[in-house]
Copies of this chain bind each other. A is one copy, B any other.
Amino acid sequence: MTTIKDSVHDHIEIDGIAADLLNTPMLQRLRHVKQLGTVGLVYPSANHTRFEHSLGVYHLASRALDHLDVKGPRRDRIEAAAILHDIGHGPFSHNIEQVIHRRTGKYHDDVGDLLGDGAIGNTLRSSGIDPGRIAGLIRGEGAYGGLVSGELDVDRMDYLVRDAHHTGVPYGTIDHERLIRELRIVDGELVLDEGNVQTAESLLLARALMNPTVYEHHVARISKVLLRRATEQLLERTDIGAAQLRRMDDHDLLVALRNHEPTQPYASRYDTRDLLKRALWAELEDVPERLLDATHDRIREFETQIADRVDIAEATVILDIPSRPSMTETSTRVMVNGEIRRLDDQSPLVSALRTAQENKWRMGVYTDAETTEQVGRAAVTELGLDLDGSRISRVRRESNATLDEFTAE
């Protein structure tokens, strides 16, 4: 048995199949993929990696399996899935996942190919484990797949606490030990035991508070789109391909961006934190459906059109349309009065949180500081927005309140 010291869970004991997988190159690679990508530009302490997170997820899964009294091959499979659940992540985690997905069709949890190959595949098979079943668990299939990926998964429990520890934002401090102790398998579903509606709500609330403060902070979003545009240029204008990109780590990608001429300006902006500024912010109710549904190509056309109208370089206009807010926790299962209930049937907070999240959603147009005024006006025209002056001034004011700081938190 191996014991590893972790800043969040203290001593993590690693045993069995997980210990065998620990030193595989694909897993060690996660030491070089930051958990929160560009969030580090907002919270400078947020440099933790997918590797330590993977250890934490394994640790919580293992404790949950103790409480659920799961042993033998099933336990091995779940522990393997827990420690491997993030090996599909490309560099900068979620930040450039869409770029990879558009070209390879692979999301980070579509890891069938990675699990079957090389050292991981060999390790799994030599322990009598079918890599395909691990892939299924990582996609959340079955009751125990829900423990790895679902409304009540240990992934979320680890990252909320870990992200709070490393950013300094206290909102993620859930009672993960309580959550794990109250997990049950009932009728083939992973549920929280009687008396835990509030425990489920606390998980939901923690994510609802961390979302705008950390994960969707506008400086992190601007940096994310910057990195995405840069990576697209890398794929379009150099001989680096999507499959190669997918196996890179953060170092590889950053250095590739620095060293290739077409992407060097992006890298320089990122390295010196010379980010674009907000030219326009619009709320969900002001953004027509056709924009919300716009394809990636269409969005880049809009950017070109706006840039052309102002007569500046295309690369200095970014249109960021976040996906509509979602809350997977709403279907969390909780035992109430002897029945399995969905959390959104039981808790009035669920729909209120959905509304609150929609209120915080913002479409953004970003550009250099000196062209924000013109680009803002051009964007209203090109995007066909129906924004009168009062609405624009309203988001402008909010913007002033938070954008000019280094980290607006």
Contact = CB atoms under 8 A, between A and B. Distances in A.
A335 to B, nearest CB: 8
A169 B272 contact: no
Stoichiometry, as copies per complex, reads 4
A45 B8 contact: yes
A159 interface: no
Interface stretch (A149-157, A230-238, A401-409): A401-409
Interface in A8-33: 8, 10-11, 14, 22-23, 25, 28-29, 31-32
A372 interface: no
Interface in A338-374: 338, 347-349, 351-353, 355-356, 359-360
Contacts of A104: none
A44 B49 contact: yes
Contacts of A144: none
Nearest to A119: B272
Contact of A2 (B3, B169, B360, B406): B406
Contacts of A189: none
A7 interface: yes
A251 interface: yes
Interface stretch (A127-135, A201-209, A306-314, A377-385): A201-209
Contact of A5 (B10, B167, B359): B167
A177 B251 contact: no
A209 B202 contact: yes
Interface string A194-217: 110010011001000100110000
Contacts of A117: none
Nearest to A194: B401
A350 to B, nearest CB: 8
A55 B49 contact: no
Interface of A: 2-8, 10-11, 14, 22-23, 25, 28-29, 31-32, 34, 40, 43-49, 51-52, 55, 165-171, 173-175, 177-178, 181, 193-195, 198, 201-202, 205, 209, 212-213, 250-252, 254-255, 258, 271-274, 337-338, 347-349, 351-353, 355-356, 359-360, 394, 397-398, 400-402, 405-409
A48 B48 CA distance: 8
B409 A5 contact: yes
Contacts of A209: 198, 201-202, 205
A272 to B, nearest CB: 5
Contacts of A5: 43, 45, 167-169, 407, 409
Most buried by B among A165, A252, A349: A349
A272 B402 CA distance: 42
B397 A28 contact: no
A63 to B, nearest CB: 11
Given A14-B406, A349-B353, 17 more contacts: A3-B405, A4-B407, A5-B409, A11-B181, A22-B406, A25-B271, A25-B272, A31-B44, A44-B51, A170-B174, A171-B175, A178-B409, A194-B397, A194-B398, A194-B402, A198-B209, A349-B349
